[in-house]
Amino acid sequence: MKSKVKTKPSKVVRDFFQELFAGVAKVNPAAVDRHMTSDVEMTVIGTTSPELLQVMTWAGKHVGRGAVKTFFTDLLGRNIEVLDFVIEEIIEQHESAALFGTLKVRARETAKTIESEYALRIKIRNDKIARYHLFENSYHIATAFRVAGAWEVETAEEGRRTVPALTRD
């Protein structure tokens, strides 16, 4: 059975992010209660990479409002400061919406700032967000936490080589 959608998904999503990032630097977890279903499923990146999960501990699946609030305040919030979150385009169909935009974040411990594009798939049920799946450039975001080290890589074109960490101020 399909859920009734009284409010357009684009309005639900815009209202959610406007309230969530009202103070930008610190999220408003009350927005989760107002704009998400009690059984909301939130997936960030959707990775199963053990290496990436060690760097970006907030990646993965979060189910229920409590888990989503913990994500925004404790997991993500302690590590990243959202400086800007721009929605450039929303495509909607029935109870679904796809968002495309840019975000600017700063890693709290390293003070490194990155800008990246994102895509977000949203499903609405009873005028609230029921599914939230964020796709972002996880490698680029992970570089904001890098303080040292190099990669040893091997490609068909160049063989084995060392890629040093780029330093950014």
Torsion angle (degrees, nearest 10) of CA 160, 163, 164, 166: 180
Is the pLDDT at 14 greater than 60, yes or no?
yes
Among candidate residues 11, 9, 70, 4, the one with its CA nearest the CA of residue 42 = 70
Residue 123 is which amino acid?
K
As a whole number, the mean pLDDT across the chain is 87
φ/ψ of residue 13, rounded to 5: -65, -45
Within 8 A by CB and 6+ apart from 49, the residues are none
Query: What is the pTM for the complete model shown?
Result: 0.83
For 77-105, the pLDDT digits (tens) are 888 888 888 999 999 999 999 999 999 99
As a whole-number percent, the residues of the chain with pLDDT over 70 amount to 91
What mean pLDDT comes out for the span 134-162? 87
Q: Was domain 9-164 assigned CATH 3.10.450.50?
A: yes
Question: What's the rounded mean pLDDT across residues 111-118?
Answer: 94
Query: Where exactly are the structural domains of the chain?
Result: 9-164
